Structure 1
Amino acid sequence: MSFGAADYDPHLSAPTSKTRLKGAEIVAAILKREGLKQIIGFPNSELFDALAELDIPPVITRTPRVAVNIAEGYARVTGGRELAAVTVQYGPGAESAFGGIAQAFNDRSPILFLPTGYPRGHEAVTPNFEARRNFRHVTKWCEAIARIQDLPRLMHAALSRVRNGAPSPVLLELPVDLLAELGEVDLAEYRRPGRSLPQAGAGEIRELVGILLKARDPLILAGQGVLSSQASAELVAFAELLGIPVATTPNGKSAFPETHALSLGTAGRARPATVDHFMTRADVVLAIGSSLTRSHYILPIPADKTLLQVTLGEADLGKDYPIAQGVIGDARAALRQMHDEAAEALSGGEGRGARRAAVEREIATIRAAFMQRWMPLLTAESVPISPYRLVWELVQEIDPERTIVTHDAGNPRDQFTPFYQAVTPGFYLGWGKTTQLGSGLGFAMGAKLARPDATVVNIMGEAAFGMVGIDFETAIRCNLPILTVVLRNHVLGGYAASMPVATRKYGANRMSGEYAPIARALGGHGECVTDPAELRPALLRCLGEVRGGRAALLEVVTHEESRLAGLSPEMR
């Protein structure tokens, strides 16, 4: 689905004369015109019925936060090229959705958020929670509608912002009395907003490429902007032309195929040794499609690097790091410009084939040594099961070309990301700017909603499942068969170090419970594994259930594991 003005079809227009419609019907008609496939939300909104009348189904969750997480997963898998819209009830619904919108804001996810609002005239009445006042810092546009005749104009404004500029949630608050009000509108005058992709100037590109060509050991750091601009093929071509190794940010994982000989892997908190080796040695780092946000969960870039940045958002330039050159532009357009400029500069000169071959050999050597060091953990026969054994079984059994994988925050992310090689753009939903426990479950359902043909796997710890676990029923009821793997070790993994006294005296890091029975009680398939020899057969059974159309939960009883790739000196 594209958003160009040429896609406007006059035959989809409403009658040319003004029509009396309720506010909710006006919004629904516009969303129908925009190609909306489903409306996600909880628990009540006038938009559910108005859209159902137009054959657009609702996806009703158990919590507003998970509704937003589903919308984010959908938006990220489709690269923002299909509209992700979510609605919640005014007051407590909007309050509960705040965390999900904050997560989407940090993840740069283009979501249209349409919370209902208190009736007009109740503004600034304590303790009413007004979305337009409270979401301003976690959206890039946050407004409320006051007059029904303004609905088409403000919907156009909201959708234009969803589709243009740096991706981010966009909020339009819809008072409930306005949604029930009748008004005269001429929907034939509504035009779908187009999508504009900024392109850098030729001089900027020439200067940037010149720095790269003179670099001794350049490195490319690819972010989520490469995915949203569908620029993976262009990134591969550019990296191959210059023989430059490529790492990705956590959000950008899968932007560059990690089976490629120039791939270093993901530069997260935990990462393969290839990332550290080449980042340490690099003299120039090109960050393409990245906001270059500093985070505890993203490998920091050392201060001695010459840093180049290509981003869609002007506010990202030099935000967290001093940059030698910043370029505003769409990643795909910029990569094509850079490729043409570099190819012209190299024509008639010395080729880069020998350099590329040497870099590829070095990457392969370092990766092989890294895997050899970690193989005893990945293939461990210990009881309780090593979480790395689960990682290894997943790596062996799932097809990365047909499987969308996501994880939750904490140890599941840090233990899985360094070893899983993502190859299909958008088929790995990573996150590293904020890490709200439980988000992975909604992301997985959103991914399945976007790509029903794909197998979708979500890995989470028991604390994360405890925050959102009841929404496993949403996957069953809404026919979104996903596999959720829950690692159970009866502790908050890693948290004892931050509260040693409370842990020693009161067991503050302890958890209890069993989760496979919950999955079965909610109508899904659930089983628990305690023996490493039974892990692969159980995984295959669960994958079979998912492929047969039934959501499954695999509970794996593991021991707590503190060793993380890139962070444990004894494993480097």
Structure 2
Amino acid sequence: MKVDQAIAKILKIEGVNFVTCFPLAPITNACDEVGIRNIMARSERVAINMADAFSRVSNGRRIGVATVQESAGIENSFSAISHAYSDSSPLLVISGGSVRESLGTRVFDPIKNYQYVTKWASRIISPRGVIDNMRRAFSYLKNGRPSPILIEVPSDVIQEEIEDFFEYKPTQRFYPMGNQEDIERVVRALLDAKYPLIYVGEGVFYADACKELLDFVNLIKVPVITSMKGKSSFPEDHPFSVGFIVGKPVAHFLGKADLILVLGSSLSVDRKFLDYALPPNKTIIQVNIDEFDINRYQRVDYAIIGDVKLVLIQMIKEMEKIGRSRDAKGIEEEIAKVKEEWIKEWMPYFTSNEVPINPYRILWDFMNTVDKSNTIVTHDSGNPRDQISSFYQAVTPRGYLGWGDYWRGHTTTLGFSLGAAMGAKLAEPKKLVVNFMGDAAIGMVGMDLDTALREKIPIMTIVWNNSCFGGYSKRTPSTSKLLPHTITNYSKVAEGLGWYCERIEKPDEIISAIKRGIKEVEGGKPALLEFITKEFPIYPTWKYESYW
């Protein structure tokens, strides 16, 4: 057995069913031999984006794996891996490498270059190192803070012989509970607080704790807000859901809160960026599996280091033991009233009959057409992110795939949503998966539309074509304009790549086009709907001074 075959065998043992790739990757032939599907993208970046999103939508319970060739392949992969690192997404990248005797010369060294954007980067320098390196990789992927792992296999090692019979057992997950004294202190503080609030981050997903979060909120009756990546961890049609952390409802309840329970978030908010920050003079309780996140960005008053799911179960048991509940009279009505008033302010945009189409009209009609309980929505960075994250109502876990924590200025690689949608569809093949893109995003990765058709991954892509880089007209007027939609036609590009496609220019055509697109996707064909929109860089935010 050769090294590449041993690696493929271990992937199979660890439950990997496919790897995403761009040729010539080091293990694709060996994967074929053991029945692991190779999914080839048109670029290394999109291949890794697919594996990344697969891990996210699987909440890390299934690990996305990508493989790329040495030198140019792994060099082209940097933005995708750094994006996964910034977003704390667990995926495994297996890269080819230059021959061992070239180490220390001017050849590209992935281990040195990727050490700051991976949880661990290692090189298999001999056949004896295969089992140890793969075991460590999967152990690190399954435990602690989620992050990408890189394994490099030099080209002279990959075809060396390894013992045909070797013992490898799947790695395990380990779940640390919270300290019981900390649990008791936190529960007392929550019950004693006058206006507590819960802030939920993506860690709730990776702890597989959405059910426990729902049970806990139903018991303690406290308003809930989420981060962008934590959005959909708590159903946004629930009476205690305030929503994603922008807008007047969030400002209202954050301003009112005297205590904030933070679940699965690093609290990485920047007071100088977009005037966004947690208000001062609040009691902060932070629950996180990573000790490095405690007190990292915000001073906290209480902390519990542990698995969020187990901690929530512990807090539920403690509350039941105490036998004391909170007086939540009027909270549901207050949340409903504030949210209703806010939506009314935006309703003229949602129901606009403008031509070119207002993007909020598309979002509103889309949201009221699809089955949200069976849909996964993601979007690209820029205005699509700002608008959709603020108003799309996510009602089921991972029904919304948030990424690129732009509030803290972390990586938001334009074009991610296309690979993300394909990865999400691979994770949840029975669900409708939709990604929203602008002109800039499809310009980055448009040729990978081919990947969805060729690999039989039927997704729906909605393009907002406003003939510019939305929101940049005032900031960089000489570099924001693109060719007008009378010349540029993305639906024709998609048609040339074999997709079902439509171009929509009138508001009263939106719903019927969406329905036709869904029908095509359900029939197994990817669909692209290109909407001719106006530039409309207006989205919810709030100034620190305005609401507190």
Instruction: Indicate yes or no: 2:155 matched with 1:180.
Output: no
**Which residues in structure 2 correspond to 1:227-266 (within 5 Å)?**
227-266=205-244
**1 CA distance for matches of 2:427 and 2:414?**
22
Q: Which of residues 382, 386, 390 is equivalent to 1:410?
A: 382
Q: Which of residues 391, 400, 420 is equivalent to 1:428?
A: 400
Equivalent residue, structure 1, for 2:459? 482
Equivalent residue, structure 2, for 1:447? 424
Partner amino acid, structure 2, of 1:438: G
Between 243-252 and 559-568, the greater mean CA deviation after superposition: 559-568
Equivalent residue, structure 2, for 1:14? none
Q: Which of residues 149, 173, 176 is equivalent to 2:128?
A: 149
| TM-score normalised by length of structure 2 | 0.95
Q: Which of residues 500, 504, 511 is equivalent to 2:482?
A: 511
Cα deviation 1:213-247 (Å, max 9, x = unaligned): 11111110111111111211111111121211011
Tell me the CA shift for residue 43 of structure 1: 2.2
SS in 1 for 2:429: coil
Q: Which of residues 378, 391, 404 is equivalent to 2:350?
A: 378
Structure 1: give runs of 5+ residues left out of the alignment: 1-20
Kindly tell me: are residues 444 and 298 of structure 1, through their superposed partners in 2, closer, same or farther at Cα, counting changes over 3 Å? farther
Partner amino acid, structure 2, of 1:309: Q
Partner amino acid, structure 1, of 2:248: A
Q: Which of residues 158, 169, 175 is equivalent to 2:148?
A: 169
Instruction: Indicate yes or no: 2:307 matched with 1:327.
Output: no
Cα deviation 1:455-492 (Å, max 9, x = unaligned): 00001111011001111110111111100101111111
**2 CA distance for matches of 1:305 and 1:469?**
46
Tell me the CA shift for residue 357 of structure 1: 4.1
**2 CA distance for matches of 1:426 and 1:417?**
13
**Which residues in structure 2 correspond to 1:522-537 (within 5 Å)?**
522-537=497-512
Q: Which of residues 49, 58, 69 is equivalent to 2:49?
A: 69
Tell me the CA shift for residue 302 of structure 1: 1.6
Cα deviation 1:87-118 (Å, max 9, x = unaligned): 11111111111100111111111101111111
Equivalent residue, structure 1, for 2:24? 44
Tell me the CA shift for residue 40 of structure 1: 0.7
Instruction: Indicate yes or no: 2:192 matched with 1:223.
Output: no
Instruction: Indicate yes or no: 2:273 matched with 1:294.
Output: no
**2 CA distance for matches of 1:438 and 1:242?**
40
Kindly tell me: are residues 474 and 297 of structure 1, through their superposed partners in 2, closer, same or farther at Cα, counting changes over 3 Å? farther
**Which residues in structure 2 correspond to 1:304-319 (within 5 Å)?**
304-319=281-296
SS in 2 for 1:555: strand
**1 CA distance for matches of 2:475 and 2:114?**
31
Partner amino acid, structure 2, of 1:509: S
**2 CA distance for matches of 1:82 and 1:526?**
32
Between 529-538 and 453-462, the greater mean CA deviation after superposition: 529-538
Structure 2: give runs of 5+ residues left out of the alignment: 406-410
SS in 2 for 1:480: coil
Tell me the CA shift for residue 339 of structure 1: 1.1
CA contact (8 A) 1:111 1:169 kept: yes
Kindly tell me: are residues 245 and 419 of structure 1, through their superposed partners in 2, closer, same or farther at Cα, counting changes over 3 Å? same
Equivalent residue, structure 2, for 1:105? 85
**2 CA distance for matches of 1:435 and 1:77?**
18
Equivalent residue, structure 2, for 1:4? none
Q: Which of residues 501, 520, 523 is equivalent to 2:495?
A: 520
CA contact (8 A) 2:20 2:40 kept: yes
Partner amino acid, structure 2, of 1:289: G
Instruction: Indicate yes or no: 2:520 matched with 1:540.
Output: no
**2 CA distance for matches of 1:356 and 1:22?**
64
Equivalent residue, structure 1, for 2:447? 470
Instruction: Indicate yes or no: 2:289 matched with 1:356.
Output: no
Partner amino acid, structure 2, of 1:207: R
Tell me the CA shift for residue 160 of structure 1: 0.6
**Which residues in structure 2 correspond to 1:17-32 (within 5 Å)?**
21-32=1-12
Equivalent residue, structure 2, for 1:211? 189
Partner amino acid, structure 1, of 2:531: V
CA contact (8 A) 2:260 2:284 kept: yes
Cα deviation 1:431-476 (Å, max 9, x = unaligned): 2423111101111000001111110000111101100111111011
Tell me the CA shift for residue 298 of structure 1: 10
Cα deviation 1:7-48 (Å, max 9, x = unaligned): xxxxxxxxxxxxxx1110110111111111101111211311
Equivalent residue, structure 2, for 1:339? 316
SS in 1 for 2:162: strand
**2 CA distance for matches of 1:315 and 1:72?**
23
Instruction: Indicate yes or no: 2:524 matched with 1:549.
Output: yes
CA contact (8 A) 2:276 2:542 kept: no
Equivalent residue, structure 1, for 2:117? 138
**1 CA distance for matches of 2:506 and 2:196?**
46
Q: Percent identity?
A: 39
Equivalent residue, structure 2, for 1:158? 137
Q: Structure 1 residue runs of 4+, over 6 Å off?
A: none
Kindly tell me: are residues 298 and 416 of structure 1, through their superposed partners in 2, closer, same or farther at Cα, counting changes over 3 Å? farther
Equivalent residue, structure 2, for 1:10? none
Tell me the CA shift for residue 567 of structure 1: 4.3
Tell me the CA shift for residue 177 of structure 1: 1.3
CA contact (8 A) 2:365 2:511 kept: yes
**1 CA distance for matches of 2:541 and 2:113?**
39
Equivalent residue, structure 2, for 1:11? none
**2 CA distance for matches of 1:418 and 1:286?**
22
Tell me the CA shift for residue 83 of structure 1: 2.2
Instruction: Indicate yes or no: 2:473 matched with 1:496.
Output: yes
CA contact (8 A) 1:149 1:185 kept: no
Partner amino acid, structure 2, of 1:112: L
Cα deviation 1:25-74 (Å, max 9, x = unaligned): 11011111111110111121131110100111100000111111101110
Q: Which of residues 280, 284, 298 is equivalent to 2:259?
A: 284
Cα deviation 1:265-301 (Å, max 9, x = unaligned): 111xxx3422111011111111101122225589421
**2 CA distance for matches of 1:444 and 1:432?**
15
CA contact (8 A) 2:375 2:434 kept: yes
